[in-house]
């Protein structure tokens, strides 16, 4: 739980993808031709990411929809998740009787009141803890963290976001704005890269 003043329900681990999950055959979906031969399998198809994000938006609105929210997107990997999350939050807000104001910023520090940090993936948790401690200096009323993915890794420091889309095995994943040396951000699905892909885009 990130340091927050409000008690919020524990939403748990999100959609849990087990270590033995073989994924989906790439040929069952479409993806950019320039990545043919570079991927192992589809871990999470784009449609499921979007559907899960819609539910996260509902949970977030239930918890903090009463206040104006500053959404902080952690670039670059967080931009797809953030854009889809904001879209769903906006739709829920528009269809309810009170309109919630939302501002979006891209990790630039100034004084914020109610902050929702939107991140692509939490691995060890180091990145998020460092970010939280730099934001806490500005004494916001509330800080919550939404991460699309959380990895099951023995290197985890135990950090748990308030909202989790999917818990995944300890794999390096790409797509939906997550990159490998800046490649694969233009892939819609979250996929596992293969040895050929790693070699081709190695720096």
Quickly list H helices, 7-105.
Answer: 46-64, 79-94
26, interface contact from Mg ion, ligand IMP, none, CB < 5-8 Å by kind? none
123, interface contact from Mg ion, ligand IMP, none, CB < 5-8 Å by kind? ligand IMP
Shortest CB 7 distance to ligand IMP, Å: 25
Strand-pairing partners, residue 175, are: 178
User: Which residue's CB is nearer to ligand IMP, number 56 or number 74?
Assistant: 74
Q: What's the CA gap between 196 and 178, in Å, rounded? A: 18
Q: What's the CA gap between 202 and 175, in Å, rounded? A: 16
Shortest CB 146 distance to ligand IMP, Å: 13
User: Which residue's CB is nearer to Mg ion, number 42 or number 117?
Assistant: 117
126, interface contact from ligand IMP, Mg ion, none, CB < 5-8 Å by kind? ligand IMP
Q: Which residue is nearest to Mg ion (CB)?
A: 77
23, interface contact from ligand IMP, Mg ion, none, CB < 5-8 Å by kind? none
Is 56 within 8 Å of 102 (Cβ atoms)?
Answer: no
Q: What's the CA gap between 146 and 119, in Å, rounded? A: 6
Can you give the binding site for Mg ion, defined by CB under 5 A? 74, 77, 120
Can you give the binding site for ligand IMP, defined by CB under 6 A? 77, 119-127, 172-174, 178
CA end-to-end span of the chain, whole Å?
Answer: 36
Q: What's the CA gap between 151 and 121, in Å, rounded? A: 7
User: Which residue's CB is nearer to ligand IMP, number 64 or number 174?
Assistant: 174
CA angle 150, 18, 9 (to 5 degrees): 50
User: Which residue's CB is nearer to ligand IMP, number 44 or number 61?
Assistant: 44
């Amino acid at each position: 739980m990130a340091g927050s003043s409000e008690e919020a329900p524990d939403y748990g681990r999100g959609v849990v993808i087990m270590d033995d999950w073989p994924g989906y055959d790439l040929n069952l979906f479409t993806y950019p031709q320039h990545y043919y031969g570079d991927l192992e399998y589809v871990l999470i198809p784009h449609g499921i990411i979007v559907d899960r994000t819609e539910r996260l938006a509902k949970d977030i609105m239930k918890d903090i929809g009463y206040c104006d929210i500053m959404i902080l997107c952690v670039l670059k990997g967080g931009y797809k998740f953030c854009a889809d999350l904001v879209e769903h939050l906006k739709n829920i807000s528009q269809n309810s009787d009170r309109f919630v104001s939302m501002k979006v910023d891209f990790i630039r520090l100034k004084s914020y009141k109610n902050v929702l940090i939107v991140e692509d993936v939490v691995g060890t948790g180091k990145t998020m803890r460092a970010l939280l401690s730099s934001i806490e200096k500005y004494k916001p009323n509330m800080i919550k963290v939404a991460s699309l993915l959380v990895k099951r890794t023995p290197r985890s420091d135990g950090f748990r976001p308030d909202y989790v889309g999917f818990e995944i095995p300890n794999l390096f994943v790409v797509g939906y704005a997550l990159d490998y040396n800046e490649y694969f951000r233009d892939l819609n699905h979250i996929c596992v890269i293969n040895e050929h892909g790693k070699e081709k885009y190695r720096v």
